[in-house]
Chain A
Amino acid sequence: MAFQRNMDPHKCPMPSQDPAVRAHNFDEVALGYTYDMAVNEARRCLACKNKPCVTGCPVQIDIPAFIERVANEDMEGAYKVLSASSALPAVCGRVCPQENQCEGKCVRGIKGESVGIGRLERFVADWHREHSTESPEKPVSNGRKVAIIGAGPSGLTAAGDLARLGYQVTVFEALHLAGGVLVYGIPEFRLPKAIVQQEIDGLKAMGVDIQTNMVIGKVLTVDELMGEFGFEAVYIGTGAGLPRFMGIPGESLKGVYSANEYLTRVNLMKAYQPGSHTPLLHSHKVAVVGGGNVAMDAARCALRMGAETVYIVYRRSMNELPARAEEVEHAQEEGIIFKTLTNPVEVLGDEQGSVRGMRCVEMELGEPDASGRRRPVVKEGSEFELEVDTMIMAIGTSPNPLIRSTTPGLETNRHGCIVTDGDDGLTSRTGVYAGGDAVTGAATVILAMGAGKQAARAIDEYLRGKN
């Protein structure tokens, strides 16, 4: 150790765009550490022996090892450590809820702020992208074919790991672009699409074949892939993309969007760019129903698309918001109004069939329910109307039934999630593995990546045993 440890109890703050400016553009909000900031922050890490941070990381990155290299100004070395465990470090450093994962376990967090692990991961991945000229090595092929269904974080991670092991990997993606939620869901200002594209190009350079416009279950079935197309194993990483609606009157009015539709129009179809061919309503007053990351993304997109007033309408209180702390903070700074303990009961329309408002009730938190969260209860006589012209439903998604309805013998539970055995993702069908939101229901990018990683390992073991 050739450096002095930095004992500042506070994390080095990350520069970001001014809220008043960024609320009107789609450029990335968080600007990332400079070289000196990164080195300085890395020197806050105590390099503890028992590494609690690693246990908090779903893909078990050797965090102290990569941070030590940053502290010693060996950025490429740090990148090697990261990429041994993670296929998408530039993505995860940006979108992981670190406060509940690695950083939540950091020893420095006990008496002060934890080390900025996510920010450092992001810095290293960005540094590598900007400075490295080496192209990734193309592994020697073992000639055995594995199919991955879905090019989201889980499928891409499984693809990367299997390709590294020498498998001939084909990823089948239903949309015209690979990336899953990274391209259609998470907005440009939080995750620039060029970064996602570059990580995908890295996989292609390793020999991964990505086939877009392929809706498995329609154009080909899992059985056809494993039969005439000769894939020895299949990994299902199709996510949870089916939007939920509330089932309240007025949900079919013009101006009611699912968050998936709104975000797909804005992000995948680039409705935010002038001259985009995909339309979006010009909204003035928007209510986003829900309190997760998807709700924050939709609300912040609506603001950037020119809405004057944007509400987050959430039935519990600020303490229960499931969104990542940094996103909630950013949304507040940008002027999004949080109407918590509020629940819509009806969408109100005008003669043209457009939204003119919503009828809401106020809520109180009652006794904790089975999940341990305090259950919201309607406050008697609290009905009121909120004037809005657009409503975006961000109350969750469930897995699409396309794969389960076309794959005989594939066991699913009552939520439509694929049932897997233990941690390795084996489904009720031999040679068919699954992971990510398709198994867990809507969760996080990094959990999906963890599942893809474990399944890749299990598929390798299965195929070695099969010979």
Chain B
Amino acid sequence: MFKIIRKEALNPTVTRMVVDAPLIARKAMPGQFVILRAGADSERIPLTVADYDRAAGTVTVIFQVVGAGTMELNDLPEGGCIHDFVGPLGTPSKLEGLKKVAVVGGGVGCAIAYPVAKRLHELGAEVHSIVGFRSKDLVILEDEFRAVSDKLVMMTDDGSYGDKGVVTAPLEQLIQAGEGYDEVIAIGPLVMMKFVSLTTKKYGVKTTVSMNPIMIDGTGMCGGCRLTVGGETKFACVDGPDFDGHLVDFDEAMKRGGTYREFEAHAREEYCNLLNKGVQ
């Protein structure tokens, strides 16, 4: 059992949890993830390590409440316990040696992009962060990004905060303006990472994406998270989750991501009904 030390809502659908997990905190690196089960009968779900404190022995996860699994997690109180919490899994992001980087985050993906930006800043790189949200009330981690970025571009789909539009527009402008990035690191929804990769490909800028396929064990024993990268089959949980965005077959990944859509919608509905009954 893993104690929830702190729990706070970052926006109406995104929650941050600081979890007591000293062994994982000792080893975790940006780009790695954990697999957790909220309760004794819960599904195993992967969440990226959003932060860690080696001295305090804590690991932070940030998640969007999208379905039954994350609802169940979100219902755990501060001071309560997560049943299973395993990690750090996956290969850490390769950030050493980079001089100038554009970090592009979309939605809750910003929770994963932030530790990458922070680490790059610590390593002395020039960091340009481009972060996009659907609207102003969904913005997360703005101050945190600002503190580690040499330049911060805020975008919202509806223009309610920052500039109106998607993240690829300012990214392309910056590249065209001759910013000369060593690398672009994009983390967010598959469709956003796909279009970032298509944009940078035109300019030959190396692009790394953090993939988020369906996972169960997260240790390489099932291949449920497999992706096609450069024509080869890769397991995101062990070979990734970071891959070269110009080589990933995003269309296939998006189709595979929808495998259990019906089941998920049903499970979400059931869970909500269960909650309503509890209230009555």
Contacts and interface: CB of A to CB of B under 8 A. Distances in A.
Chains A and B are bound partners:
yes
23 contacts: A176-B86, A212-B84, A213-B86, A214-B23, A215-B89, A218-B88, A252-B227, A252-B256, A258-B223, A258-B224, A260-B222, A261-B216, A261-B222, A264-B217, A264-B222, A269-B216, A277-B68, A278-B44, A278-B216, A352-B255, A400-B221, A401-B238, A402-B238
A213 B84 contact: yes
B219 A402 contact: yes
Contacts of A214: 23, 86
Given A254-B259, A261-B216, A242 B85 contact: no
Interface in B229-243: 233, 238
Interface of A: 174-176, 212-215, 218-220, 241-243, 245, 247, 251-252, 254-255, 257-258, 260-261, 264-265, 269-270, 275-281, 352-353, 400-402
Nearest to A281: B259
Interface in B167-218: 216-217
Contacts of B270: 275
A181 B210 CA distance: 31
A451 to B, nearest CB: 20
A265 B259 CA distance: 14
Indicate the member of A218, A260, A269 with the most B CB atoms within 10 Å: A218
B165 interface: no
Q: Across chains A and B, which 10 residue pairs bring their CB atoms closest together, nearest first?
A: A353-B255, A261-B222, A279-B263, A241-B221, A279-B260, A213-B86, A277-B43, A176-B84, A258-B223, A261-B224
A275 B266 CA distance: 11
Greatest chain A CB density within 10 A among B86, B219, B223, B226 is at B223
Contacts of B264: 279
B267 A279 contact: yes
B221 A260 contact: yes
Secondary structure type dominating chain B contacts = mixed
A420 B69 CA distance: 43
B41 interface: yes
B222 A218 contact: no
Contacts of B226: 245, 252
A178 to B, nearest CB: 13
Given A245-B226, A252-B233, 13 more contacts: A174-B219, A212-B84, A214-B86, A215-B86, A219-B27, A241-B221, A242-B221, A255-B259, A260-B222, A261-B222, A275-B270, A276-B41, A277-B69
Nearest to A239: B221
A275 B42 CA distance: 10
Given A261-B222, A279-B260, A252 B228 contact: yes
A243 B27 contact: no
B220 interface: yes
B23 A261 contact: no
B245 interface: no
Nearest to A251: B233
Contacts of B68: 277
B122 interface: no
Q: Looking at chain A's contact residues, is the secondary structure mostly helix, strand, loop, or mixed?
A: loop
Interface of B: 23-24, 27, 37, 41-44, 68-69, 72, 83-89, 216-217, 219-224, 226-228, 233, 238, 249, 252, 255-256, 258-260, 263-264, 267, 270
Contacts of B220: 241-242, 400-402
B23 to A, nearest CB: 5
A219 B23 contact: yes
Nearest to A242: B220
A264 B221 contact: yes
B194 to A, nearest CB: 15
Contacts of B85: 213
B27 A218 contact: yes
Nearest to B67: A277
B66 to A, nearest CB: 14
Contacts of A261: 216, 222-224
Contacts of B84: 176, 212-213
B197 to A, nearest CB: 18
B223 A243 contact: yes
A223 to B, nearest CB: 13
Contacts of A281: 259-260
A277 B233 contact: no
The residue in A242, A270, A277, A353 that gathers the most chain B C-beta atoms within 10 A of its C-beta is A277
A352 B270 CA distance: 26
Given A218-B87, A219-B23, A400-B219, A353 B233 contact: no
Contact of B255 (A174, A254, A269, A280): A254
Given A269-B43, A277-B68, A174 B217 contact: yes
Contacts of A260: 221-223
Contacts of B41: 270, 276-277
B232 to A, nearest CB: 10
Contacts of A269: 43-44, 216
A252 B222 contact: no
Nearest to B27: A219
A214 B41 CA distance: 19
A241 B221 CA distance: 5
A277 B274 CA distance: 14
A119 to B, nearest CB: 32
Contacts of A251: 233
